[in-house]
């Protein structure tokens, strides 16, 4: 890779700015054309145009020398793999194909959808060398302002844009771990703001209705009810293996590493929750075989709610909210609930206490008018 020192005259100031043009090779585009890949590094160094004094001429010489030193250092960093991308064939790895491959490993439609939006934005082929910090910023803007949900045929919600961009960022971290790129160009780009939506949850009576109501996918029904009884996230339920279900003197316990926090958790589960797991399988097998949560499954989950007569916008994560609210409502202290949920910070759990406070206020206002208020 070559690094060239370039000059550009500034029309407003009359000075000449210095910058580096980094030649990163070529790739073939889907239409068969060859595209030259370049990157730019602005040095914030300026030459005096038409110097008239010995001092100005000497300053220009010193600035050019400094710029050339930076150019040589940058070229050396690239050769040593310190500039964020690798030399050689790994530069040409198709990131979209890599993204989809990682999504399939995780058995999650969120990553597949994020990869699909990336393909819509960047084209069917995206050599990893093209993913710069500027590219990441522009993709973020695309998700926030232009991307359309295929299922709902409208712009993505702020929460969805946040989730998709984080999936993109996480996949770049995997590319770093696989030695495809040296550093994540997305590290300096903040994720889209996620507006905290109302934490929707189910009452105990609504959960009982779901138990009695058939769902199009039995494994989805069992997994969601299991979340309501344990507070586990979808990612942990989906990855749960029989080797992590342990029989103890007092019942059953799950011993597993949380997918989100990577922390080991020892979680006692009720007999009801154990019944949902069904017959014990082989240690390496997943407990909830065939579970695949996606946009389509979201619709099936919502249809299940409708069939049960529940008029709430419920997602799989609502099962976790339900567990927290039901635990607090039944008298469990907030510290215990925090530990059951695997929260690192008690403040996260306190949100559910506020939900209960609102619930109590609503209950107080349900009393009939006794004629005091005129």
Which of the two residues, 207 and 364, has the higher pLDDT score? 207
* Superfamily covering domain 204-363: Intergrase catalytic core (1.10.443.10)
**Hey, where are the domains in the chain?**
2-80, 95-178, 204-363
- Judged by DSSP in three states, 273 sits in helix
Question: For position 139, what pLDDT does the model report?
Answer: 93
Percent residues over pLDDT 90 in the chain? 32
Question: For position 271, what pLDDT does the model report?
Answer: 93
Segment 341-371, tens digit of pLDDT:
887 777 777 777 666 666 656 655 655 665 6
Distance CA 94, CA 96 (A): 6
Query: What is the average per-residue pLDDT within 200-220?
Result: 93
Q: Identify whether the C-beta of residue 188 lies closer than 8 Å to the C-beta of residue 196.
A: no
Segment 106-127, tens digit of pLDDT:
766 788 889 999 999 988 888 8
Cβ-based burial of 105 (10 A; exposed 0-12, middle 13-18, buried ≥19): exposed
Question: For position 166, what pLDDT does the model report?
Answer: 92
When the pLDDT of each residue in the chain is averaged and rounded to a whole number, the result is 83
Question: For position 362, what pLDDT does the model report?
Answer: 62
Query: What is the average per-residue pLDDT within 62-91?
Result: 70
Question: For position 366, what pLDDT does the model report?
Answer: 56
Evaluate if residue 196 carries a pLDDT over 60.
no
Distance CA 73, CA 3 (A): 10
Query: What is the average per-residue pLDDT within 217-225?
Result: 94
Q: Comparing 161-165, 174-178, 194-198, 335-339, which segment has the lowest mean pLDDT? A: 194-198
Question: For position 54, what pLDDT does the model report?
Answer: 83
Q: Comparing 56-70, 149-163, 308-322, which segment has the lowest mean pLDDT? A: 149-163
Question: For position 223, what pLDDT does the model report?
Answer: 95
Task: State pTM to two decimals.
Answer: 0.57
Sign for the CA dihedral angle at 286, 322, 210, 304 comes to negative
């Amino acid at each position: 890779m070559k690094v060239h020192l370039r000059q550009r005259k500034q029309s407003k100031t009359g000075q000449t700015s210095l910058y580096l043009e980094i030649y990163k090779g070529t790739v073939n585009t889907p239409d068969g054309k060859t595209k030259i890949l370049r990157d730019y590094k602005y040095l914030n160094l300026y030459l005096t145009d038409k110097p008239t004094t010995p001092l100005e001429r000497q300053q220009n010489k010193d600035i050019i020398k400094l710029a050339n030193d930076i150019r040589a250092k940058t070229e050396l960093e690239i050769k040593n793999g310190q500039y964020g991308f690798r030399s050689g064939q790994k530069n040409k790895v198709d990131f979209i194909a890599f993204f989809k491959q990682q999504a399939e490993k995780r058995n999650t439609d969120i990553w597949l959808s994020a990869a699909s939006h990336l393909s819509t934005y960047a084209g069917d082929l995206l050599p990893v060398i093209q993913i710069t910090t500027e590219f990441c910023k522009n993709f973020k803007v695309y998700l926030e302002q232009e991307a359309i949900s295929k299922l709902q045929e409208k712009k993505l919600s702020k929460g969805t844009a946040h989730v998709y961009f984080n999936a993109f960022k996480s996949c770049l971290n995997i590319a770093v771990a696989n030695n495809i790129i040296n550093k994540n160009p997305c590290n300096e780009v903040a994720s889209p703001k996620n507006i905290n939506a109302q934490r929707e949850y189910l009452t105990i009576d609504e959960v009982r209705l779901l138990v009695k109501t058939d769902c199009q996918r039995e494994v989805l029904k069992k997994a969601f009810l299991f979340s309501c009884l344990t507070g586990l996230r979808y990612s942990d339920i989906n990855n749960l293996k029989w080797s992590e279900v342990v029989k103890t003197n007092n019942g059953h316990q799950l011993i597993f590493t949380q997918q989100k926090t990577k922390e080991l958790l020892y979680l006692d589960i009720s007999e009801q929750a154990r019944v949902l797991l069904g017959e014990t399988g082989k240690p390496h097998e997943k407990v909830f075989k065939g579970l695949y949560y996606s946009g389509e499954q979201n619709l099936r989950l919502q249809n299940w709610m409708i069939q049960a007569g529940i008029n709430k916008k419920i997602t799989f994560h609502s099962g976790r909210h339900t567990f927290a609210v039901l635990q607090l409502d039944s008298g469990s202290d907030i510290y215990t609930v925090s530990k059951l949920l695997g929260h690192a910070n008690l403040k996260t759990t306190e949100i559910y206490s506020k939900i209960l406070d609102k619930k109590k206020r609503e209950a107080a206002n349900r009393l009939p008018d006794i004629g005091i208020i005129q």
